[in-house]
Amino acid sequence: MEVRHSPWKSKKASSGNGGLHGDVEPRSDTDQKQLCHPGSRGSGALFLGGPDSNRIRRSSELPPSSDREAAAIIGSSMVHEVEAEQRCGGDAIKVVCKYERRVKEFTYQKNKKYVNRLQDLVDKLQLKVKAYKRQAEEAEVQANTHLSRFRKVHHELEEAQERADIAESQVNKL
């Protein structure tokens, strides 16, 4: 038997006898926990199988003198069922929020590790770039000094050749 949460049905159950007579036992905690189990039929559905159906059958065998009391008890039990279902829904929302928060924290930590690793790589690359720049500057300075030496030696060589040519021409004149 399935009872869906609606104000009309709860009023009907609390005002009329619904064909039930006599007292109905109040729900136990285990019965309320059954309301939250995943086997419930859809959203907002309350499961009234097992011990509840036996209580309803026993109550129909009782005399009609306590119809109002039975209806009141059934109505209050339905209210308790709805409250239990709402508690289960609230607990489920809390659990979902908790897991969403854990996922966000995990992804944040993972992203932070990734960013730190990338930052370390960037720092290492920047150090290498600075070292290469320094080496390039040193090589440029060294190349400039070698070039200036070469020009100086080349100039001296040309002067020496000119002097040698002049000296040779003077030797040939004599």
Q: What type of residue sits at position 104?
A: K
* Listed range (57-61, 72-76, 136-140) with the worst mean pLDDT: 57-61
pLDDT over threshold 80, residue 119: yes
pLDDT over threshold 60, residue 146: yes
What is the C-alpha separation between 87 and 81, in angstroms, rounded? 10
Question: What pLDDT, in 10s, does the model give residues 12-33?
Answer: 444 544 444 444 444 454 444 4
pTM: predicted TM-score of the whole model, two decimal places? 0.40
Q: What type of residue sits at position 53?
A: S
Indicate the domain borders of the chain: 2-97
Strand-pair partners of 4: 45
**C-alpha angle with apex 64: 58 to 66, nearest 5 degrees?**
85
- Which helix (H) or strand (E) element contains residue 47? strand 45-47
Are residues 2 and 47 in contact, defined by beta-carbon separation less than 8 angstroms? Answer: yes
Average pLDDT over residues 42-64: 49
Are residues 46 and 85 in contact, defined by beta-carbon separation less than 8 angstroms? Answer: yes
